Amino acid sequence: MQPDYRNFQPEELATDPSFRLWKLSNDEKESIFWEKWLSENPDKHELINKAAHLLNAVFNSFDTVSDEEVTTEIHRLSYSLGEKNAKTSRSVFLFRPEWYSVAASVLMIIGFGWWFINKNSPAEKTNSLYKEIISQIKEPLIQEVNNTDKPKLVALQDGSSVLLQPKSHISYPRSFTGSKREVFLYGEAFFEVAKNPDQPFFVYANGLVTKVLGTSFIISAFENEKDVKVVVKTGKVSVFALTDENLETQQADNKLGGMVLTPNQQIVFSPLNMRFTRSLIADPELLDLPIQKQSFNFKGTPIKEVFTALENSYGVKILFDAEIMKNCYLTASLSDEPLFEKIDLICRTINATHEQLDASIIISSKGCSYSPENQ
Amino acid sequence: MDKKQRILLENEILLDLWQQSKAGDSGAFCQLADKLYRTLFNYATSFTNDREYIKDAIQELMLHIWEKRQTINIQFVTIYFLKSLRNQILQEFRRNKHIYPYLDLDEIEEITDNHTIESEIEETEHYHESQRKVRNAINELPKRQKEAIFLKFYEGLENEQIADLMQVNRQSVANLLFKAITTLKSQIPLLSNWLLIIYMLIY
């Protein structure tokens, strides 16, 4: 039944399940067996030692990941899965396949504030690259400046929305005609990028390029005047320094190359010396903007409250007839769609229509007849 | 308990978690990932020393498996994950040869002096000094031998399973292991000395 351990080589013993249970798991039953075996075979001490040492050596040699690292990575995974679940439940609620394609998007903030002021040589170099990129865009660029003290909503032609922070400006083409969508940012902004894998989204900011293919959440924020900081909440983006070679290789394909950022990672880029520092964000809940914390989970929520939540998060005015819509309720889980997609989804659910007028969104509805229990 | 039973039992626990995951329980999936993480990470060090790359690769693998969970049927959980990770990493290496030139597997076979930088403090201590030598001996093995050693002694897999994973025949696995063990054994006079000391210290 039991193997003839006396004839074993150390390396054979090291792979024996019973021996491994004893040495690796301190299994009680096995240690009784092996201690008895050793007392019966006192000449085989060295065999046992050698096998144990081989195991030790292999584990020493390969075990290079710390408990903290494992915990962090599992936390990161569970975070990503949470986001995925939110999407799944949303899909269930929507149950219209053609909507899946518009549902996913990217949320991002890029901060930077230094580049246009400082004319040092790395910046000069980057500057000429910017000029080159801009010259390749055929559509005229629109510049939006936010001189107010509140975030300003900017709607892009592809359905993406940008919440431009005070003292920031952004340049973008009226429509995205080429193989990529490119915008130029000075200052700080919060992006919700509509998914379109065939037309990757590029944000140029202070010598840093952030490339997005879409499917999920990214957040980046800015800490001081010199560095660019990108923080990823869920999903993936790649970032790379703005150099000739990078532009060629990164723009050529639809894959995410460069330094890939995944959930709960942040990167600080220093344009002066082109250095990247990647780290994990200590507490993902501690994000700066209200929108970053917001998850829009509604369960039989009166539509008035839904609109109030959106108004507060995006700083837009939503106009609707509260009296007519007093019986409208919403059950939905929304997260990283651009604002207009959110509005669109809500309107389809409650059978309403919407239009945009200046900084306001006007909702037209004939009212709802059903009660929240039926939803 | 014989070898097969033992493996089956361990696999049963993992399979249980997998079935729960398949039913949509993301908590169970995280537990499963937690149980497998160390093994997957350490296995990946057979292919690259870039720890951040490995972490990203495992995240990607996990998310991919989670998304595809309905269509995946698993018999042996650990082997399935090891195999998937291996395929993913090697595929990416082949795609991005220019980005990871040092990871080219054929080249790696020929590199034997794998430099492991150790701190001076470690050098001064006998225990760590010896440990370093063992680690170096394993690290200096050609990558495929190192991979086989990992699967055999770290994971306790059978040659047949290793052959399946590494996509070679059983004889090749036996050859890889034989070469690796011979190399390590040539260091054993050295190893067994310190190991004996450690052994006496620990037990």
Chain A residue with the nearest C-alpha to that of B65: A81
Model ipTM?
0.74
Q: Nearest Cβ partner of A74 from B30, B154, B188?
A: B30
CB A328 within 8 A of CB A127: no
Classify residue B85 as exposed, middle or buried by CB count within 10 Å of its CB (0-12, 13-18, 19+).
buried
Question: What was the pLDDT predicted at B148?
Answer: 92
Residues of B with CB below 8 A from A14's CB?
Answer: 153
Q: Minimal CA–CA distance to B116: which of A103, A61, A139, A36? A: A61
Residues 6+ apart with CB under 8 A from A12: none
Helix (H, G, I), strand (E, B) or coil at A219: strand
Instruction: Mark yes or no for CB contact A53/B199 under 8 Å.
Output: yes
**Joined tokens for residue B21:** 């995951």
Phi, psi for residue A219 in degrees, rounded to 5: -135, 135
Mean pLDDT of B32-52: 89
Taking the CA of residue A375 as centre, how many other CA atoms within 13 Å lie in the half-sphere pointing to its CB? 20
b/e map A250-283, b = 16+ CB within 10 Å: bbeeeebbbbbbbbbbbbbbbbeeeebeeeebee
CB A11 within 8 A of CB A57: no
Residues of A with CB below 8 A from B29's CB?
Answer: 81
> A70 and chain B: CB distance < 8 Å anywhere?
yes
Best-predicted range by mean pLDDT (A236-245, A330-339, B133-142, B161-170): B161-170
Question: What was the pLDDT predicted at A101?
Answer: 30
Mean pLDDT of A302-311: 87
User: How far is Cα A116 from Cα A114, in angstroms, rounded to an integer?
Assistant: 6
Question: What was the pLDDT predicted at B43?
Answer: 92
Q: Minimal CA–CA distance to A129: which of A228, A205, A181, A230? A: A205
Classify residue A181 as exposed, middle or buried by CB count within 10 Å of its CB (0-12, 13-18, 19+).
buried
**Joined tokens for residue B98:** 């220019």
Q: Which residues pair with A212 in a beta bridge?
A: A201
Structure-derived torsion over alpha carbons of residues A179, A185, A189, A194, reported in degrees to the nearest 10:
-10
To probe the interface with B, which of A13, A45, A48, A81 has the most B CB atoms within 10 Å? A81
State which amino acid sits at residue B49. N
To probe the interface with A, which of B56, B78, B182 has the most A CB atoms within 10 Å? B56
User: How far is Cα B117 from Cα B125, in angstroms, rounded to an integer?
Assistant: 15
Residue with tokens 């008035």: A304
**Joined tokens for residue A287:** 């994000």
Mean pLDDT of A91-117: 34
CB A83 within 8 A of CB A335: yes
- Look at B88 and A72; give whichever has higher pLDDT: B88
Instruction: Mark yes or no for CB contact B30/A77 under 8 Å.
Output: yes
How many other C-beta atoms are found inside a 10 Å radius of the C-beta of residue B48?
18
Chain A residue with the nearest C-alpha to that of B130: A57
CB B1 within 8 A of CB B19: no
Question: What was the pLDDT predicted at B97?
Answer: 61
Confidence of residue A45 (pLDDT cuts 50, 70, 90): confident
How much of chain B exceeds pLDDT 70, in percent?
68
Instruction: Mark yes or no for CB contact A15/B38 under 8 Å.
Output: no
Question: What was the pLDDT predicted at B132?
Answer: 65
CB A226 within 8 A of CB A218: no
pLDDT reading at A29 higher than 60: yes
Q: What pLDDT digit, counting tens, does each position of A255-304 carry?
A: 444 566 665 566 666 656 566 666 655 544 434 445 555 567 888 888 99
Question: What was the pLDDT predicted at B131?
Answer: 59
Mean pLDDT of B53-63: 91
Which of A89-103, A181-195, B97-111 shows the lowest mean pLDDT across its residues? Answer: A89-103
Per the prediction, chain A carries an average pLDDT of: 70
Q: CA quadruple A296, A299, A300, A305: dihedral positive or negative?
A: negative
Chain B residue with the nearest C-alpha to that of A16: B3
- Look at B139 and A246; give whichever has higher pLDDT: B139
Q: Which residues pair with A112 in a beta bridge?
A: A187
User: How far is Cα A228 from Cα A261, in angstroms, rounded to an integer?
Assistant: 14
How much of chain A exceeds pLDDT 90, in percent?
1
Question: What was the pLDDT predicted at A128?
Answer: 60
pLDDT reading at B82 higher than 90: yes
- Look at A54 and A227; give whichever has higher pLDDT: A54
> B153 and chain A: CB distance < 8 Å anywhere?
yes
CB A335 within 8 A of CB A90: yes
> A20 and chain B: CB distance < 8 Å anywhere?
yes
Termini Cα distance of chain A: 65
CB A328 within 8 A of CB A302: yes
- Look at A30 and A258; give whichever has higher pLDDT: A30
> B55 and chain A: CB distance < 8 Å anywhere?
yes
Per the prediction, chain B carries an average pLDDT of: 75
Question: What was the pLDDT predicted at A96?
Answer: 28
Question: What was the pLDDT predicted at B111?
Answer: 30
Question: What was the pLDDT predicted at B180?
Answer: 87
Question: What was the pLDDT predicted at B129?
Answer: 58
User: How far is Cα A70 from Cα A373, in angstroms, rounded to an integer?
Assistant: 43
Helix (H, G, I), strand (E, B) or coil at A162: strand
pLDDT reading at A196 higher than 80: no
Confidence of residue A104 (pLDDT cuts 50, 70, 90): very low
Question: What was the pLDDT predicted at A229?
Answer: 63
Give how far B78 is from chain A: nearest CA, Å. Answer: 16
Chain B residue with the nearest C-alpha to that of A50: B192
Q: CA quadruple A39, A44, A45, A47: dihedral positive or negative?
A: negative
Cα–Cα distances (Å) from A326 to A61, A241, A255, in that order, read: 67, 51, 47
pLDDT reading at B107 higher than 50: no
User: How far is Cα A191 from Cα A287, in angstroms, rounded to an integer?
Assistant: 15
Confidence of residue A372 (pLDDT cuts 50, 70, 90): very low
- Look at B150 and A133; give whichever has higher pLDDT: B150
Angle, vertex CA A254, rays to CA A251 and CA A256, nearest 5: 85
Q: What pLDDT digit, counting tens, does each position of A208-265 carry?
A: 777 775 433 333 334 344 566 666 555 566 777 666 555 555 555 444 445 666 655 6
Cα–Cα distances (Å) from B54 to A233, A351, B58, B83, in that order, read: 20, 48, 6, 15
Mean pLDDT of A197-214: 74
Name the maximum alpha-carbon separation found in chain A. Answer: 93
Question: What was the pLDDT predicted at B85?
Answer: 94
Phi, psi for residue B105 in degrees, rounded to 5: -65, -40
Kind and range of the H or E element at A347?
Answer: helix A339-350
Question: What was the pLDDT predicted at B47?
Answer: 87
CB A347 within 8 A of CB A99: no
Mean pLDDT of A108-122: 40
Question: What was the pLDDT predicted at A84?
Answer: 56
Mean pLDDT of A154-171: 82
Mean pLDDT of B125-137: 62
Mean pLDDT of B57-73: 91
CB A214 within 8 A of CB A196: yes
Instruction: Cite the beta strand spans of chain A per DSSP E.
Output: 105-112, 141-146, 152-155, 161-164, 168-173, 181-194, 201-205, 208-212, 228-231, 237-241, 259-261, 265-270, 275-280, 296-302, 317-319, 329-334, 353-357, 360-364
